[in-house]
Structure 1
Amino acid sequence: MESKEIFFGANVEEAIAAGLAALGLSRDQVEVEVLDEGSPGFLGLGARPARVRVTPVTPPEPEVAVMPAVTEPSPPPEEPDLEEVARSVVGELLGQMGIAAEVHARHAEPESEGEIPPLILDVRGEEAESLIGRRGETLAAFQHIVRLVVGRRMGGRFNLVIDVNGYKRQRERSLRRLAQRMAEKAVRTGRTVRLEPMPAYERRIVHLTLRDHPDVTTESVGEGRRRRVTIIPRKG
């Protein structure tokens, strides 16, 4: 409850000073209301003292700083898994084509140290045979579409290989035998052997097959769909 006191003095300043002294407060700790400024009268006649009401000022409640609620930082979003996304895309496309099949994933052998090998998706099922096409042309187109969709979802470009019922595995065995025969021919004749144009995945198989061959080296030449592997005999 506020304490209001009335103090007197010969003038307003003296009345205020009397109030401050009585309350033991400073000027900025009180509110002063002048009730009567007083009058000196005339020759001492009719004089009256000044009157003031001095009220201590209630100090404001200290503001309590409201600390913002501390929330646990959200964990960073997980990086999408390439294998999971790729299998999902292949499954969706097969479903839209009305083809019932299973999709299995594996990684190819790296061509060199530090290389990220391609992810191979094996599509298995009787109905999946229609995906191969003449000399694998339909399969190549399907693979291209899968790469585009996966790249868009993952935000990058990724080396994906689609196989159907082991078609490319059989082709791989055939290419490895071809690479060995052509390497022998290059060594025997001392001349460079040029293979037929191949897609990147098949050229890669030839390079891997002859990577450690003591008598030949390999090199890809040409552009686009006419790019092929050359097998070159080592000199000396």
Structure 2
Amino acid sequence: MKTKLLIPLLLLCCQAVWSTRPPQIDGEEMQDVEEFGDLILHCRGSKALHWDNVDIKEIFPLDAGYYYCRYNDSNDSSNDKKSVASVFVFVNGRDQSFLNHYLNAVPPHPAGETLHIDCTVSNRNYNVILKINGIDVTEEERVKYDPTKGFSIEDVTMEDQGLYVCESGGKKQEVTVTITNVNPEDETCIKEQEKCEGVRWYPCCFVSLIPTINIYIYLTQQGAPTRFGGFFNLLP
């Protein structure tokens, strides 16, 4: 009798374990495809999938990048490791080097943390150089490069602010980066200045060592704080 009960329980346990497994995409997590070739990706899983295959004819360098396969009940392709599978596809073309046309603006970055510069490439074999204010820092120990994510610069300091330029195959991408020695999470507001019925305003500001002032105003109503403000350049 015990054996008869044990087998169904084991089957239920196995089914539960399998149901929690993430979907799987055939092949390696990073794949190379020749320009004008075909890209075919198959995905399988234990639940309904957002897609089960990708079939692109005559792929171009701009088709390079991440491809995600997820269960229908997942909306977070980047972070939901239990319900999402991904593969990064490189396209081996001749003319296109950087995957994106330009670098997005980088918000003021706290000193002491790792800074990411997303100068990814469509071909993993492209040589990419990073310059900060005209100085090549590619080979520095604190600088790491991942062709799927770009550069990461560890433990940045105030001296690391300025113009960042990525160079590859005669092409350039650049972005200006500001480093601040103040962590917005550690802001301390001055005393309450004004009261309204049911509303409290808390002016708060701090000044970093760079020519930028960060001004914030806190509005608290029924225990729900909201922050307004931003970064203002003091240079003419």
Please say whether Structure 1 and Structure 2 have the same fold, judged by a TM-score greater than 0.5: no
Of Structure 1 and Structure 2, the greater strand share is in 2
Of Structure 1 and Structure 2, the greater helix share is in 1
Structure number with larger C-alpha Rg: 1
Question: TM (normalized to structure 2)?
Answer: 0.29
